[in-house]
């Protein structure tokens, strides 16, 4: 359940997600964090999650409990690229991933505009928390 909070510390495992559009339940926005020189633009939930996973893999934080499963190994992944974007924010979230266990993520999500924090035990729960906030806007 969501609870009211005063603030959330921004650490190595925390990223900021700014959503500017949510048509057909497809978020568009930017991802930024302390370990990133520039924000990254995403145009779907899958792209956002893959960007976050790649950032965590590069920093090795939080550490994976299990190896990622893939049908075909990917030799070289393209570098993360930023794209300009100056749209008005629909919602801003702070996502802190504390653990990557059982092939998923566990952590907390702060919805900045409403100052509400929710905890997730899986990526699906994270997606549902974000979806409920974006549909409320």
Q: What is the pLDDT along the chain (137 residues), one digit of tens a residue?
A: 555 554 444 567 899 999 999 999 999 999 999 989 999 999 999 999 999 999 998 888 786 767 776 677 766 555 555 555 567 999 999 999 999 998 899 999 999 999 999 999 999 999 999 999 999 97
71 belongs to a structural domain: no
44 belongs to a structural domain: yes
Maximum distance among all alpha carbons in the chain?
A: 45
DSSP character at residue 43 = S
20 belongs to a structural domain: yes
91 belongs to a structural domain: yes
Q: What is the number of domains present in the chain?
A: 1
Domain span including residue 111: 3-65+82-136
User: pTM for this one?
Assistant: 0.81
77 belongs to a structural domain: no
38 belongs to a structural domain: yes
73 belongs to a structural domain: no
What six digits make up the tokens of 70?
């893939």
Cis omega before residue 85 (within 30°)? no
Residue 23: phi, psi to the nearest 5?
-85, 135
70 belongs to a structural domain: no
């Amino acid at each position: 359940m969501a609870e009211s909070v005063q603030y959330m510390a921004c650490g190595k495992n925390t990223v900021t997600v700014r959503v500017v559009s949510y048509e057909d339940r497809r978020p568009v926005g930017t991802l930024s964090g302390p370990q990133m020189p520039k924000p990254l633009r995403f145009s779907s939930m899958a792209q956002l999650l893959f960007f976050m996973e790649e950032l965590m893999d590069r920093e090795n934080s939080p550490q994976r409990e299990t190896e990622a499963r893939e049908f075909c190994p990917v030799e070289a992944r393209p570098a993360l690229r930023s794209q300009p974007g100056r749209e008005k924010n629909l919602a801003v979230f702070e996502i802190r991933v504390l653990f990557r266990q059982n092939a998923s993520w566990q952590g907390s999500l702060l919805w900045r505009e409403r100052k509400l924090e929710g905890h997730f035990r899986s990526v699906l729960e994270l997606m549902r928390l974000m979806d409920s906030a974006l549909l409320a806007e």
